[in-house]
Amino acid sequence: MERLIQPNKEIAMATSTTVVPSHSLTGFIGLGRRIAALIPGLLLLAAVGYAGKFIEQSIAAYTKAGHITFPNIEYVLWAIVLGLIIANTIGIPRIFQVGVATYDFWLKAGIVLLGSRFLLGDVLHLGGISLLLVAIAITLSLTFMHILGRAFRLKPKLTSLLAIGSSICGVSAIIAAKPAIDADDEDASYAIAAILALGAISLFTFPLIGHSLHLSDKAYGLWAGLAVDNTAEATAAGALYSDAAGKVAVLAKTTRNALIGFIVLGYALYWSSRGEAHAVGNKAAFLWSKFPKFILGFLLISLLATLGFFAKPQLASLANLSRWAFLLTFAGVGLRTSLRELGKQGWKPFAVGAIGELFIALLTLSLVYGADRYLHL
Amino acid sequence: MSKDATSSRQALSLDGYAVALALVLALLVRLNLLPPIKW
């Protein structure tokens, strides 16, 4: 399970320079070996992602040449499906695993580069609307998840983790909250498995629902960013709809991610007040430690783009670099999803997560409808 | 507990590396040290 859930940990183990001093020759050799260990998995990510892009382009060229009407299936879906097939049939040999785990790293680098496609004014406008909707959605969904957890008699800390995961930021939020509320490994694994399973389902259902409701790119992107838990899946669900929707989904999801520290702090204070978690010392330091730093990078690039630091062709290059980084991420989403592991969890956490997700999806959809009508997205 | 704190710190430092990589790439593009990136 750990291999499935903690990508950062593996990359950190592969790239950490803290074990061997980097100034010595041994240190450089050690670092070189760690970087070399990433290469097979990185090549696999690139191969699967590029195969997805190749399939999309080939189908588009074939249907165009033959004047056949066929819906365009984005490379995102092909990359994820190819990854899922490989991971769940032949499996991922050990030599590839460390490199494949870097998909989260590429996601964050891609988000920072995506900042070049936003003027800061757009970020503030859409981010402001997202923040308002996120605040409403989080309050209602946290309350609903706790009522559900009590009804299903889940352990209170497992309920807390599921509530944090489904209302804020999926796996990262659960990993951030686990030590803060002294939750069990088992509870964290259950919560993460439920969130990952539900994320995989939303990848296939959200675009279908969006198309059937004829949502605009902005409205759909906002909905995907507010409702899909994991950042990688939210980005993929948005990109599956359209490029513009993917952009908005990332912005809305990033706004949600920014609140992770406040929610985890709230839970840490609650559990420590009950004597079931260690006390929180400096609250500002706690908030900073949990704040996703890549958001600052995103804002910086957006600011530079707004100030005209980049010429138009350079902006196009940055946007394309972001797409290449996301291509590696989407391949990783498929390659890291083990259906067997997801099936091993008990039905109760999954049921609570699924009912909660359905509630959040409907809630955020109605919020987005309202915002589209009254706040003019 | 300390293991969790360590992995959390490592994850955060990876956030830093991701930001650093993106900023370096942005700078290389700005200085025209990279060829135009196509999709």
Residue A29's contacts (CB-CB under 8 Å, 6 or more residues apart) are none
Chain A residue with CA closest to B38: the answer is: A320
CB neighbours of residue A150 within 10 Å: 12
The helix or strand, by DSSP H or E, that contains position B17, with its residue range, turns out to be helix B2-30
Total of domains in chain B: 1
The helix or strand, by DSSP H or E, that contains position B33, with its residue range, turns out to be none
pLDDT at B3 over 70: no
Question: For position A42, what pLDDT does the model report?
Answer: 96
Give the separation between CA A174 and CA A4, rounded to whole angstroms: 14
Distance from CA of B37 to the nearest CA of A (A): 5
Question: For position A25, what pLDDT does the model report?
Answer: 75
In this complex, is the C-beta atom of A281 within 8 Å of any C-beta atom belonging to chain B?
no
If you search the block for the tokens 């990279």, which residue do you land on? B34
pTM of the predicted model, to two decimals? 0.79
Q: Quickly list DSSP for A297-352.
A: HHHHHHHHHHTT-S-HHHHHHHHHHHHHHHHHHHHHHHHT--HHHHHTS-HHHHHH
Question: For position A246, what pLDDT does the model report?
Answer: 92
**Closest CB to B18 among A105, A317, A323:** A105
Question: For position A50, what pLDDT does the model report?
Answer: 96
Is A301–B26 a contact, with Cβ atoms under 8 angstroms apart? yes
Give the separation between CA A15 and CA A17, rounded to whole angstroms: 6
Question: For position A6, what pLDDT does the model report?
Answer: 45
SS3 assignment for A118-132: CCHHHHHHHHHHHHH
Question: For position A110, what pLDDT does the model report?
Answer: 93
Is B37–A11 a contact, with Cβ atoms under 8 angstroms apart? no
Range list of β-strands (E), chain B: none
Decide if the complex's ipTM is over 0.85: no
Give the separation between CA B38 and CA B22, rounded to whole angstroms: 17
Is B22–A116 a contact, with Cβ atoms under 8 angstroms apart? no
Question: For position B2, what pLDDT does the model report?
Answer: 44
DSSP H helix total and E strand total for chain A: 19, 0
Chain B residues with CB-CB distance to A324 below 8 A: 37, 39
CA atoms within 13 A on the CB side of A20: 15
What DSSP character marks residue A74?
P
Structural domain range at position B22:
1-39
b/e sequence A263-277, b meaning 16+ C-beta within 10 Å: bbbebbbebbeeeeb
Is B30–A309 a contact, with Cβ atoms under 8 angstroms apart? yes
Residues of chain A with pLDDT under 70: 1-23, 71, 169, 185, 342-346, 376-377
Residue A220's contacts (CB-CB under 8 Å, 6 or more residues apart) are A206, A210, A238, A241, A242, A245, A248, A249
Give the separation between CA A203 and CA A196, rounded to whole angstroms: 11
Chain A residue with CA closest to B11: the answer is: A8
Instruction: Burial-class residue A132 by CB neighbours within 10 Å (0-12, 13-18, 19+).
Output: middle
